[in-house]
Amino acid sequence: MAITVEVFDSRLNQLGEGPTSSGAGNNDVAWVDIYGRVVRSKNLITGKIGEYKTAEDVGFQIPRRAGGDILGTANGPVLRDLDGTLHLLPTRQMADGYKEKNVLRWNDAKVSPDGNLFLGTMAYANQSNEGSFYRLSADGKKLDRLFGEVGISNGMDWSVDLTKMFYIDTLAMSVDLFDYNKGEISNRRKFIKIEDGMGYPDGMCSDAQDNLWVAFWAGSCVRGFDGNTGKQIAEIKLPVQNITSCCFAGEKLDKLIITSAVGNLGDLPDLVNYPQTGFTFIAEPGVVGKKTNMFGA
């Protein structure tokens, strides 16, 4: 049975990414427009919208337990208070011990159920293997580089029993699997191979049954995969090309918020063939998801 998709928010995003849900009933939905340098929000119930600008390209936003957000500004990350005050955090150069040879930015990030923030980088020119993957402690004091040789660090999530972490490097064309133990990852292996013609795996989330919901850039869809076997179990078709990420929202966590993008810097929307390009969508895939984990000790 086809899954119905509706427009949730019609503000155009050059590179919409990283939706989250928080607040009463998980109804406060937020996302970033990376190249638009803006964080946008909308309430599922009231329809109230909001947004604020950032000084740099912003790869992710995640709500904080103390209020405000943690932002993946290009040279961050930074903490942002509700009044807009910014607080600097450890930088990539501090974690790496050297200066990056190419211009990189933060891309996707997610807080694990046990409180660590996992976050990755990519090169602006999409050079393969220039990015890295990091872990920031819940108190924001320690940033560790876990591994390099990353193309475009993208979606991630954890199994309900917190023994596995799923991870996407878009240019590797796969969903990979790690063993997970109290913030430590090991034993990386390929879990789902993305075949030619499917598009590029981008952001993702998992539901309460450990099924993975993966957005596909240049694929016009979100696909569901069984988290134990890797077998495809669902496909949510969307009326635009570049699907970037998704998260569950709503009191029952049965609404899937899906972000999309016009494209990279300089790309113009094809409003003839895809008039809703860059919009944010909502669907009910018939499963129950998991809450967005907030950042902070």
Mean pLDDT of 244-265: 97
Task: Decide if pLDDT at 1 tops 70.
Answer: no
Mean pLDDT of 157-183: 97
Task: Decide if pLDDT at 217 tops 80.
Answer: yes
pTM over 0.85? The answer is yes
Per-residue pLDDT of 225-239, as tens digits, reads 999 999 999 999 999
Per annotation, catalytic residue among 9, 28, 33, 202? 202
- Superfamily per CATH, domain 5-283: TolB, C-terminal domain (2.120.10.30)
Q: What is the pLDDT of residue 101?
A: 84
Q: What is the pLDDT of residue 167?
A: 98
Per-residue pLDDT of 3-49, as tens digits, reads 999 999 999 999 999 999 999 999 999 999 999 999 999 999 999 99
Q: What is the pLDDT of residue 112?
A: 98
Q: What is the pLDDT of residue 84?
A: 97
Instruction: Provide the 10 A C-beta neighbour count for residue 162.
Output: 13
Per-residue pLDDT of 94-134, as tens digits, reads 999 999 888 999 999 999 999 999 999 999 986 788 999 99
Q: What is the mean pLDDT of the chain?
A: 96
C-beta contacts of 130-137 below 8 A and 24+ residues apart: 130/100, 130/101, 130/102, 130/104, 131/104, 131/107, 131/169, 132/92, 132/96, 133/167, 134/92, 134/95, 135/183, 136/77, 136/89, 136/90
Q: What is the pLDDT of residue 102?
A: 85
Per-residue pLDDT of 49-88, as tens digits, reads 999 999 999 999 999 999 999 999 999 999 999 999 999 9
Q: What is the pLDDT of residue 2?
A: 80
Mean pLDDT of 129-152: 96
Residue boundaries of the structural domains of the chain: 5-283
**Residue 81 catalytic?**
no
Could you tell me what percent of the chain has a pLDDT over 90? Answer: 94
Rounded CA separation 29/71 (Å) = 15
